[in-house]
Structure 1
Amino acid sequence: MEKLPNDWYALAALVFMLGMKHGFDADHLATIDGLTRYNVRRNPQLARFCGSLFSLGHGAVVVLIALTVSTLAGSWQVPQWMDTVGVWISISFLAALGCVNLAAVLRTRPGEVVQPVGIRSRLFARLQNTHSPLLVAAVGALFAFSFDTMSQAALFALTSQKFGGWEHALLLALLFMAGMLLTDGVNGLWISRLIRRADKAAQIASRVMGLVVAGASLLVASFGAAKFFSPTIDNWSDG
């Protein structure tokens, strides 16, 4: 799990940035890509906002988890073993996502658009075939029931106890959702525009996006593993 700062404003800024980082998750990108592609001709107006709707549904679950954990924080403590398990689940998923997205870029033929790859998005591929705004948000909510998302929401809630009660947990959860909404919303608009284009620029842009997703996932996974095995790197990252 992430180690969060003790200063409130630094904490709020970091949580917002973590929300942006979370919105850049390959599963988010792949699912928003699928939802947008399905609606781009059936419902062009909805296609533009699939990213925002997905993020709102996802964020609603984060808010609910944060409030629940904040309410129970006085009578329940997170077991120590969850820290190690959470770290290695995140590292494993990021490494896998980085590899499959790098492979997708390398396998895509010249002249074709690269599609981002996610693990959960493959498991729930059929859910991407929906043209209802509420169902798009529901897909986002479903994706929030993962160890990574739930552990982050719980961490925000527990850290907020240093500054006050459930109100601070709610604010942190909303900041996380706002950061995620920014990333996913822009991504949805960008994909909608990209799908409508079949020129060279669209093909190059999709390859750049695929490489960025793969590179960022592998970099974060490597840094997480380095922090786990090296106290020096862990202390340096904590300031």
Structure 2
Amino acid sequence: MHDLPSDSLALVLLVFVLGLKHGFDADHLATIDGLTRYNASVRPRLARFCGSLFSLGHGAVVVAIAVGASLLSQGWAAPEWLESSGTWISITFLILLGVLNLRAVYAAAPHEMVHPVGLKGRWVGRFGRVTHPGGVALVGAMFAFSFDTVSQAALFAMAGVQAGGWMPSAGLGLTFMLGMLLADGANGLWISTLIARADATARIASRVMALAVAGISLLVAAWSLVRMLAPALDAWGEGKALFFGMAVIAVIFTSFLLGLRLARGREPALEAPG
């Protein structure tokens, strides 16, 4: 828990940014992409809200775990091996996600949009083709039962206990859910817009975003690996989690704007008779 600030305002801001960053996880993007595409033809009005519903289900489990862990954690401290093993698992998954999304970009045909690739999406099976709001939220809840999400919820529980008990833990969980809701909700709306367009703008924007997600996954994995192996750099990065989280969000947002700008710049040439 050494990366969490002791100041209450800074802690809340950091947890919110972590929620935003978590919402841009490749697994979230890939699953919301699939849910939105399936509902675009079956229930178009639901399609645009798939990201928000997914995030609400996911966040509800995070809050429940944070509250439950805070009630059970009086006098308990997380073992040191938990943080190190969690970091190695995160590095492995980030590298896989980065490589798979790079492969998706280069494997897509010129006339196709790039679909983000996730690892957890294969677990949901037929639940990835639900057409009920509660079913979409259930898929999000299922995604919360993973090592990285549970470990983050436990982290909020520990911080909440130090701040006074289960209520601060619940507040941190809700703050995390709010950040994630903004990211996932925006992603669902964006995907539904790209599906509706299905033109050059959609194809180019999807490629730029996929490259950005892949690049960030690999960079975050590299940074985590270097911090594990270089104590001096790890000490330098202490207390800068908020800065790095905001930098990741800024890169993704900039990539989105860049994708739209590049697409609009090429539209006349692509639409010209020839």
| Residue deviations 1:32-67 (CA, integer Å, cap 9, x gap) | 001001110211110010000000000000000000
Determine the structure 2 residue equivalent to 1:53.
Answer: 53
Q: Does the Cα contact within 8 Å between 2:40 and 2:47 map onto a contact in 1?
A: yes
SS in 1 for 2:41: coil
Q: Does the Cα contact within 8 Å between 2:74 and 2:161 map onto a contact in 1?
A: no
Letter in 2 for 1:143: F
Aligned length: 239
Q: How far off is 1:2 after superposition?
A: 7.0
Q: C-alpha distance in 1, partners of 2:123/2:133?
A: 21
Q: How far off is 1:235 after superposition?
A: 0.8
Instruction: Check if 1:150 corresponds to 2:154.
Output: no
Gaps of 5+ in 2: 240-274
Q: How far off is 1:209 after superposition?
A: 1.0
| 1:59-98 → structure 2 map (5 Å cutoff) | 59-98=59-98
Letter in 2 for 1:195: I
Letter in 1 for 2:153: A
Determine the structure 2 residue equivalent to 1:14.
Answer: 14
Moved more, 127-136 or 1-10: 1-10
Q: C-alpha distance in 1, partners of 2:109/2:122?
A: 21
Determine the structure 2 residue equivalent to 1:120.
Answer: 120
Determine the structure 1 residue equivalent to 2:202.
Answer: 202
Higher helix share: 2
| Residue deviations 1:92-145 (CA, integer Å, cap 9, x gap) | 111110110011001111121000000011232421111000000000000000
| 1:198-237 → structure 2 map (5 Å cutoff) | 198-237=198-237
Instruction: Check if 1:37 corresponds to 2:37.
Output: yes
Q: C-alpha distance in 2, partners of 1:97/1:122?
A: 13
Moved more, 217-226 or 123-132: 123-132
Structure 1 residues 49, 2: CA separation in 2 closer, same or farther (over 3 Å shift)? farther
Moved more, 51-60 or 83-92: 83-92
Asked which structure has the greater CA Rg, the reply is: 2
For normalisation by structure 2, the TM-score amounts to: 0.85
Q: C-alpha distance in 1, partners of 2:167/2:98?
A: 36
Q: How far off is 1:75 after superposition?
A: 4.2
Q: How far off is 1:161 after superposition?
A: 2.0
Determine the structure 2 residue equivalent to 1:191.
Answer: 191
Structure 1 residues 118, 149: CA separation in 2 closer, same or farther (over 3 Å shift)? same
Q: What CA RMSD, in Å, does the superposition of the two structures yield over aligned residues? A: 1.1
Structure 1 residues 214, 185: CA separation in 2 closer, same or farther (over 3 Å shift)? same
Letter in 1 for 2:123: L
